[in-house]
Structure 1
């Protein structure tokens, strides 16, 4: 299907801001590769007017711009840690049935890319969903996908993907929820495949 891009662009320009946001949100929902980021992008777009005002202020003061960026990132990371159960390296050892004094277990798993290790205030935090405490192991599907999506190289990005809900296959649960529930290994592989394909 050939689309007249200029005509489409003119139509889009005529939309109100609210209509444009709704159109983009609907379009993101229709495209499987964009569903994982739909809510984040829609939220950012909705903040556009406030961000534009902040940008105008920041241009006048580059130091303030750097501080504002740091605050925004810190706030996003803090909410991720506050909203989800995290383990320190000692708790990881306990969850896996190892001696509580063995911190090397968590470090080895993070070094191999099997688990997400979030750097926070000089320590590492490990999202708890990664560990099956009954079987005393890292969930195999989690380890597999963490290596695929590059959890070692981008732990915050990987954590964000796992912990935020998606609309994949009309299931609003997060990938972490699907991993914990079990029986969704192929769905998780498909979702991670879509992520790395982008």
Structure 2
């Protein structure tokens, strides 16, 4: 079963990747929103990928996207970052709600999950194997209660995509290297 081998490869990869060294690679920003403090999400872009927070990402209603080559408008091979105010009490509740939505849309789909080792956030991955032979990998992360947010990275990949392994490797590198930080107020200086 090729999909199971990919799942095992993701599991092994998620447990062995070291986080990238800190850098100022801010990809997305959020302004203070009520009790939720302003925030930044930073990550280095893998070679060959294009960062976008403000053109295509805004057009499809997400915080940021990373894609290879030209923008096609199709979801395949696009890493998508979503950040939202924490609403459900636990990340497990977020995952359960997402699994339920997925299975309502594709009752014949398969759902499997695994923990992702991240240096500073709790992260859980889900692999949705669609009955249409299009799979979605989704990783929810919780930067902590004080952040007031949760975030996710997702990517859609055709089950028979010849570049699947390389795409998923890049995806997991991005996930484990993602850094949340509270944003500094305007005019604040580092010290």
The TM-score normalised by the length of structure 2 is 0.30
Which one has the bigger helix percentage?
A: 1
Highest Rg: 1 or 2? Answer: 1
Which one has the bigger strand percentage?
A: 2
The TM-score normalised by the length of structure 1 is 0.29
